[in-house]
Amino acid sequence: MIARSILDELRRTLNRISCDEVEALVREVTGVQRIFVAGAGRSGLVMGSFAMRLAQLGRPVHVVGDTTSPPIQQGDLLLIGSGSGVTDRLVHYAEKAAEAGARVAAATADPDSPAARLADVVVVIPAPTPKLSKATGSKEHRSHQPMGTLFEQSLGVMLDACVLLLMARLDETGRSMFARHANLE
């Protein structure tokens, strides 16, 4: 069954993510004033989903590019989700955040990418992306799924794991988070 193959790939990838790197990201999220998230394409959608959960956890969070996003400053965190770590716009955001004195974190498949080099904290997600696969051609960066799908799925699950860790740290429950859920729908 195709779904089983997808789950097997996802399990293998998630098992290769460093718990220490995830823990460092959680510490960053709890230790800053505000969090800004950014990504492009499907990774951007995953980052937006994480922003929603951060808001429901009571953390001040903004999606870069939204019309209500304030300027980033010292004491803030920019979290980038980028499989390749080379997307010009995201690298530019990291440069600007660092110039402003903010912390930078990156979740990427390439620990040597420009985004990772600019980051204070990096979570390496060892999954293929179209740009990275062309460069490496390695078997460990292959997937049955197209393009960056495995990276995007792994990014989402890793960030959901961060939510669970944050819930414990911040003494939050599903009920307390739901009290912060949008109510205009």
Q: Is 142 contained in some domain? A: yes
Domain membership flag for residue 54 = yes
Q: Is the pLDDT of residue 179 over 80?
A: yes
Residue partners of 46: CB distance under 8 A and separation at least 6: 39, 81, 152, 155, 156, 159
pLDDT value of position 78: 99
Mean of pLDDT over the chain: 93
Q: How many domains does the chain have?
A: 1
Band of pLDDT at residue 7, cut at 50, 70 and 90: very high
Q: What is the pLDDT of residue 145?
A: 72
- 85 in a structural domain: yes
**Residue 148 forms part of a structural domain:** yes
**Residue 116, pLDDT score:** 98
For residue 179, tell me if it sits in a domain.
Answer: no
Q: Would residue 101 count as lying in a domain? A: yes
What would the pLDDT profile of 78-105 be if each residue is shown by its tens digit? 999 999 999 999 999 999 999 999 999 9
What is the distance between the alpha carbons of residues 166 and 164, in angstroms, rounded to a whole number?
5
| pLDDT score recorded for residue 19 | 98
**What DSSP assignment string belongs to the chain?**
-HHHHHHHHHHHHHHTS-HHHHHHHHHHHHSSS-EEEEE-HHHHHHHHHHHHHHHHTT--EEETT-TT-----TT-EEEEE-SSS--HHHHHHHHHHHHTT-EEEEEES-TTSHHHHH-SEEEE-----HHHHHHH--GGG--SS-TTHHHHHHHHHHHHHHHHHHHHHTT--HHHHHTTS----
Instruction: Identify the pLDDT of residue 136.
Output: 46
pTM: predicted TM-score of the whole model, two decimal places: 0.93
Active site residues: 152
Asked, for residue 114, whether it belongs to a domain, the answer is yes
Which residue segment(s) compose the domain that 48 sits in?
Answer: 2-172
34-43 pLDDT per residue, tens: 999 999 999 9
Q: What is the CATH number of the domain that holds 112?
A: 3.40.50.10490
Could you report the per-residue pLDDT of 101-118, keeping only the tens digit for each?
999 999 999 999 999 999
Q: For residues 42 and 184, give the distance between their C-alpha atoms in angstroms, rounded to a whole number.
A: 26
Domain assignment present for residue 128? The answer is yes
* Top-confidence range, 3-17, 46-60, 138-152: 46-60
| pLDDT at 133 (0 to 100) | 54
